[in-house]
Every structure is written in structure tokens, then in C-alpha cells.
Structure 1
Amino acid sequence: MILTQCAACATNLGLTLGKKCGRCSTRYCGPECQKQHWEEGGHDQLCKPTKKAGGAEQYNANTRYTEAVAAAVQKCAEDTKGQTCYICTQALHWKTKEGLVRMCACRGTAGFAHVSCLAEQAKILWAEVEENNLGAKARKERWARWYSCGLCEQQYHGVVDCALGWACWKTYVGRPERDSPRMNAIRQLSNGLGAAGHHKDALSVQETQFSIERRLGAPEAALLNTQENLAGTYGELGRHEQALLMQRGVYSGRMKLYGEEHANTLLAATNLAMSLLGLQRFEEVKALLRKTMPIARRVLGENSFDMLTMRRLYARALCTADTTLDDTREAVNTLEDTERTARRVYGGAHPLTGALEEQLQVSRAVLHAREGMRQPT
């Protein structure tokens, strides 16, 4: 994560408190912690390699990237046996000797790659944007290579997304704070950490990002994006009331900024529904999604990720302890159709498909039990 703690005692220093090692910029509360870390914490051995790597933040990013790549390769090992990288055409990376990964919607033998190759490809594409001063559309499309497959164009998920988040951060961490690649890299890192289930680390990154953006006077749209990520992480950590309060603010802000038919507003509605579900406010979920699903179907399309997610959340709100048999049947029918679509569009290994399949099994069991209770004796 971004370094905001004392290396000796882990006290939170924010972005400005404490002092730094004069050689490698490792952060401390003060001279006592710095002295202790040098004598007892191993900093006497780490200071020189940390400085050589570019300082404490860069050294940390490099180290965490290596760990994240190893975790991603291990997770994908069974799926990638006997395959080669679609970028460099080798099974093992020529320089790092890392194995292959694939966590996208590619089918068959397509989509296998090394994280290093994916990162290098994204780095080159973005360098061309800066060198040629390309416009907003090209910037968006090329930055997408940091988080989505260049073949199927679907977003990576899980540990591969996390590894690419660290790759992105280690690439741009040395840039000035105001540089857009550095700010985008912080966001990519927090998204990747969340995708891999490292929610406490993601929260630390997001809080740091939000603090930087407010200090630099970032546009309202950027602040809303970061708050939306924060709300999602609060929910993952069980802080549901805090998540709901923040997500309501994001939804309201997006409505004022973009209107109800913008993709960002629809995403905020989806996340608001998730926050409401976390507090079991099922009637509010159903009311919100009945209002927004027709708009999402028209604007985003029936097969879009957000539309499928809305349908999953709606089915969850339908199938509760207090709902009717007809509602339970509607939930099962909705999930069956949505799971088929997700499997076709995203593949069976995608988290959305897995979540739908699991929820469908539970809903079918509830329906079976309720229908059994209705049978005549």
C-alpha cells in the first residue's frame, strides 16, 4: 500500500507528519523510531537497496508487485498449463521467468499472458499518448490496457487485476502528484487490491487518494469516484452505515452532475443498492432498481455488467424471509436468465457468474422449500 505509516511502530503519519530517512525516504514518527529501526529493524541492511530502487515508495511498490505477480501466477497455474503468452509467444517470461495468467473473458487458447508483458504493453501505449498529445478518447482507450484484456476487452478480475494494479503504481509512483497517470495509478491500485480481497489495504490507498485529491482541488467528478470506491470498501469491511451514507451522497452528486441516464449515475445506483442490501433494506432496493433498471437496459444494454448486477441485486431483494412465493419464483427466473447471460458474455470463471450461480442455488432451495409447504396434505 501507499506508505503513510512509521516503518518502526506503524503509527499513521498521513501525508505530511514525521520525518524521513535522508538517504531512502523511509518514514518515521521521529528520531527515536528511526534509530530503533536502524539498530533493530533491519534498516541498516535495507537502506542502500531501497535508495538504489528509487526510494521507499518505489521500493515498496516493486516488492509488492513481485509478490502480487507470484500470487497471480500460482492462482492461474492450472488454467495456463501448456499455453504461451499471446504477446511474447513464450511460456516463461524471458527476463523475469514468471509464468502465465488469464482472468478475462477470452475462450480457448486466447488471452494467456505474462503480467510483465501486459504491463509493458500498457506502458508503451500510454507513452504514445503523452508523446503525441492524443485526445480524450485515445487516452481512455489506451489507459484501459492497465485493467482490461486487449483481445476480449473485458476487465481482468481477482489476483490478476491486483498484480496489474501494483504494476501500474510502480510504473508511475515517481511522477509528480498532479500528473494524471500517477493519480490514475492510485485508483488502479485500490481497485486491484479490492478485486483480490485486500480490503484493508484498499481502504488505506483510497483514504490517501481522497486526501491528495482534496488538497489539490480535484474536480467534483474525481472526488465522487473516490468516494464511491471508499463506500464500496466500507461495505466490504462491514461498515454498512458509513457505506450507505457516503453512497447516497455519491448518487445524489452524480444525478446533479450528469443526470439519471448517464452511465456513472447508473453505476452509483447499483452501488447504492448494494449498500442498502448490506443493511437488509429490501423494499428500498426494489424501489430503486425498478426505477433504474429500465434506464440501464436502454442506456447500457441488456448484457452490460451493471445491468446484470442490477438484476442480481433485485433478485436478492425479492428472495427474503418475508417475501411471497410469487416473488421467490420471480427471483429464481431472473437469476436463471441472468446467469446464462453472464456465462455467455463473461465466462464461467468470472466473479459475477460465480456469484449468480451461488445465489441461484440458494434461491432454488428456498423456492423448493416454500413450494413443499404449499403442497396439500
Structure 2
Amino acid sequence: MILTQCAVCATDLGLTLGKKCGRCSTRYCGPECQVQHWEQGGHDKLCKPIKKAGGAEQYNANKKYAEAVTVAAEKCADDTKGQTCYICTQALHWKTKEGLVRGCACRGTAGFAHVSCLAEEAKVLVAEVEENNLSGKVGNERWARWYACSLCEQRYHGVVKCALGWACWKTYLGRPEGNSSRRSAMTQLGNGLANAGHHEDELSVREAELAMERRLDAPEEDVFVTQSNLASTYRELGLIEKATDMLRNVYSGRVRLKGEEDQETIIAALNYASNLGQLRRFEEAKSLLRKIMPVARRILGETHEITLRTRKIYAQVLYNDPGATLDDLRETAATLEETGRIARRVFGDTHPLTVDIEGSLQTARAVLFAHITAPA
């Protein structure tokens, strides 16, 4: 989470409201809470360390980053045992003493690294773009180091992505609110929290990001991205109707802006269809998925992650529909078997998509078996 609430009573302050401590910028809803925090909440002892770290937001980000790195290294410990960082060539980081992680699709001895080394590499590459005024294409490629492996080019996932999200945010949070790197860092933090399942914390980031973009009159494309991310957060928190309404608006907006064959429009359609399935609006979901599946295959290719996700969601909608026929269920199992083979080949056995497809396949087989063996 980022600091959008009063440090004492948790009143929501967004990114701009409230009163700040004059020394360390800790935020409060008013002078009463500020006095209480100083006299009873321990702020008198923390104020100087927070100021030394660069202010309340920086202090919080540094702390959360350190915690996330520890969690990531512990989670990856079995996989990284006996390996060394491909960047610094050490097993333990020389300064932080942190362990190694690997959250991508690298195989064998490739892809092991310290989060600190990955973050430093990304920071240096982005700085070169800014200092030398390199092209937008180069900038996007360099920025990808904050979320994707430079070796296999697959996106990081889980606790590794969360740790890198905090690394990115703590690097750029001190910049002006409208700075592009700061705004992108907020997105990376939200994505990392989502990947690690910290959806309550993610919600505060997503809502703050959307409020900021509206206040800055950000491009419509940027707002669509943030709304899609926020809708996913709503969904994870059980707010399905709220999420679906937002995704419907994003999908229709992207069709208007970029057309039906744009990659982001395909993603928007997939997200909308997935929520329709959760709301048991199966016919609407199937109709939309049958429309976008051939488009995804043609535009993105058979092995693209989005294409595979589209086919997986379609199969899930089929087997969850009480009106599914025997042919529907056989199609479901065959679809998931094929997409599972592709996912294992492209992403590896432990990638979340591969694991998710395998789980869906087991469910589809169980539903098919129950249908076949049901009394006539």
C-alpha cells in the first residue's frame, strides 16, 4: 500500500488531502490526530528516522521493499540453492546479504538474481534513456526490466514481481506527481501487489492512481489501463458487479479508440468476458469469447499468453454453464489439454498460467465424467 490514510485514524486522504508533519511529511486528517500521534503513538521517536529516509512515503516504501525481498528470497530458496546471481555472480548480495530469486521462465542455471541487482539494472537503463533523450520505443524496452526478465523476456510473477514493484516505487516516488516514471512506478507497484495476492493493499494503490490520472487529465488510454487494473482488484475482493460495469465501459471505449483487432482491445474483451462468466451470464460470455478467440490467434499467435488465457477462460465458461452439452464438455477438456501443453512448453511447469490451466483441466475432466456417468 501507499500512504493515502491518516496515520492515526485511517481516514482516507487520497494523495493530496490532510495535514503533514513539517519535518517528515507523515500525513494526518487534522491537528488533533497529529498531536495524539506525537504524544501517544510513538511519532516523537520515529520522526527523525523517517525524515532521514526521505519522508514518510519513502520510509514506508523502503520498509515494504525490504520485507518483500525477504519474502521473495525465502519463497525461492529451494529453487535457488547452490546458484549465483547472473548479474553480480555472487550467491549472497555483497551489501544487503539477500538471497536469490527466480520468477520467470528461465531454465537450468539461467535467470537467478538478487532483487537488488535486478532493480539496479533497471534503474541504470531507465536513467540512460532519460539522460540521453532516447526514443519512446527504447524507453519502453528499458522500462520492461522492471517487470520482465532480460534473458527469457517473460514477465516476473508472484512474490518476485511484488518485490520489484516496491523497488520501482521506492526509486521514483520522490518525483513530481505528473512525472511519467513516477506514474508508471505506481502501476508496477499495483501489479506486484496483485501478483502476490495483497489485494487490500493493491486497492489503495489503484484507487489513488485513478484519482491522480483524472486530476491530471491523463490520456484516455492511460485511464483505461488503470480502470482495468482497478476492476481486477474489485473482482479479487468479491465486488464482481462493480468490476463488470467498469470492464464493460473499458471494452467499449477501447473498441471506439483502437478497433477490435488491437491487442489492448482483446485484453479488455477477455477481462469483460471473464467477469460475465463469474456472474453466470454464460451466453453473453460465450458469444464474446467466440468473437475474440480467432482474432487473438490471428493477431497475437497461438502461443501468446493472451491467446492461451482467452482459450482457458472460454473452457471455464463452458464447463461452468449448467446447460453445457456432452460435446461442449469434450471440447472443454480438449481445449485445456492443448493449451496446457503449449503453456508448459512456453512458460514452464511452475508459471501461474500453466498451473491455472492444469487446475481447470482437472475440473473439466471431473465435470465431463459426472455428465457421462449421470443416470439417464
TM-score, normalised via structure 1 length = 0.98
Answer yes or no: is the 8 Å Cα contact 1:283–1:317 preserved in 2.
no
Structure-to-structure mapping, 1:255-334, within 5 angstroms: 255-320=255-320, 321-334=322-335
Which amino acid letter does the alignment assign opposite residue 344 of structure 2? R
* Comparing 252-261 and 30-39, the one that deviates more: 30-39
How far does the alpha carbon of each residue in 1:163-213 deviate from its partner, in whole angstroms, 9 at most, with x for none? 000000000000111110000000000011001101111111011011111
Contact preservation (8 Å) 1:235, 1:278 = no
Q: How does 1:80-95 map to 2 (within 5 A)?
A: 80-95=80-95
2:168 maps to 168
- Displacement of 1:373 after TM fit? 2.9
Q: How does 1:69-108 map to 2 (within 5 A)?
A: 69-108=69-108
- Secondary structure at 2:79's aligned position in 1? coil
Deviation by residue 1:256-312 (Cα, 9 ceiling, x = unmatched): 111111111011011111211221211111100111111110101100011000000
Q: Distance in 2 between matches of 1:91 and 1:280?
A: 50
Q: Where does 1:1-377 land on structure 2 (aligned, <5 Å)?
A: 1-320=1-320, 321-373=322-374
Following TM superposition, by how much is the alpha carbon of 1:374 offset from its aligned partner in structure 2, in angstroms?
Answer: 6.9
Give deviations 1:245-266, integer Å, cap 9, x for gaps: 0000000111111111111101
Give CA-to-partner distance per residue, 1:128-153, whole Å, 9 cap, x none. 10011111110110000000000000
| In 2, Cα distance between equivalents of 1:318 and 1:161 | 32
Q: In structure 2, how many angstroms separate the alpha carbons of the residues matched to 1:319 and 1:15?
A: 44
Aligned counterparts of 2:367 and 2:3: Cα–Cα separation in 1: 47
RMSD: 1.0
Q: Counterparts of 1:213 and 1:289 in 2: how far apart (Å)?
A: 30
Question: Partner of 1:221: helix, strand, or coil?
Answer: helix
Higher mean C-alpha displacement, 271-280 vs 307-316: 271-280
SS at match of 1:174: coil
Distance in structure 2 (CA, Å) of the matches to 1:203 and 1:35: 29
Deviations 1:26-57 (A, max 9, x none): 00111211111112211111100100010001
Cα deviation, residue 11, structure 1? 1.1
Distance 1:175 1:18 in 2: 20
CA distance in 2, matches of 1:374, 1:356: 29
- Say which is worse superposed, 359-368 or 161-170, in terms of deviation: 359-368
One-letter identity of the residue aligned with 1:55: G
Q: Percent identity?
A: 67
Query: In the aligned structure 2, how far is the partner of 1:138 from the partner of 1:207?
Result: 29
> Contact (CA 8 Å) 1:162, 1:193: kept in 2 or not?
yes
Matches of 1:274 and 1:95, distance apart in 2: 45
Which residue identity is paired with 1:334? T
Kindly provide the amino acid, as one letter, of the partner of residue 93 in structure 2: H
Task: Supply the distance in 1 between the matched residues of 2:67 and 2:136 (Cα, whole angstroms).
Answer: 33
Give the TM-score taking structure 2 as reference length. Answer: 0.98
Once residues 183 and 18 of structure 1 are traced to their aligned partners in structure 2, the CA distance between those partners, rounded to angstroms, is 21
Q: Secondary structure at the match of 1:79?
A: helix
State the distance in 1 between where 2:323 and 2:298 align: 31
Deviating above 3 A after TM superposition, structure 1's stretches of 4 or more consecutive aligned residues are none
SS of residue in 2 equivalent to 1:298: helix
Paired residue secondary structure (1:86) = coil
CA distance in 2, matches of 1:41, 1:348: 48
CA distance in 1, matches of 2:267, 2:175: 30
Counterparts of 2:23 and 2:35, CA distance in 1: 14
1-side partners of 2:373 and 2:219: how far apart?
Answer: 56
> What code does the residue aligned with 1:344 have?
R
Gaps of 5+ in 2: none
| 1:322, distance to aligned residue in structure 2 (A) | 2.3
Uncovered stretches (5+) of structure 1, i.e. residues with no partner? none
Q: Which amino acid aligns with 1:31?
A: P
What amino acid is the match of 1:194? A
Task: Point out the more displaced range, 269-278 or 351-360.
Answer: 269-278
Q: Write the letter of the residue equivalent to 1:38.
A: W
* Letter of the 2:340 counterpart: E
Describe the SS at the equivalent of 1:72: helix
Provide the C-alpha distance between the structure 2 equivalents of 1:79 and 1:358, rounded to a whole number of angstroms: 22
Distance in 2 (alpha carbons) for counterparts of 1:15 and 1:139:
27
CA contact (8 A) 1:254 1:264 kept: yes
Distance, in Å, in 2 between the alignment partners of 1:261 and 1:318 is: 24
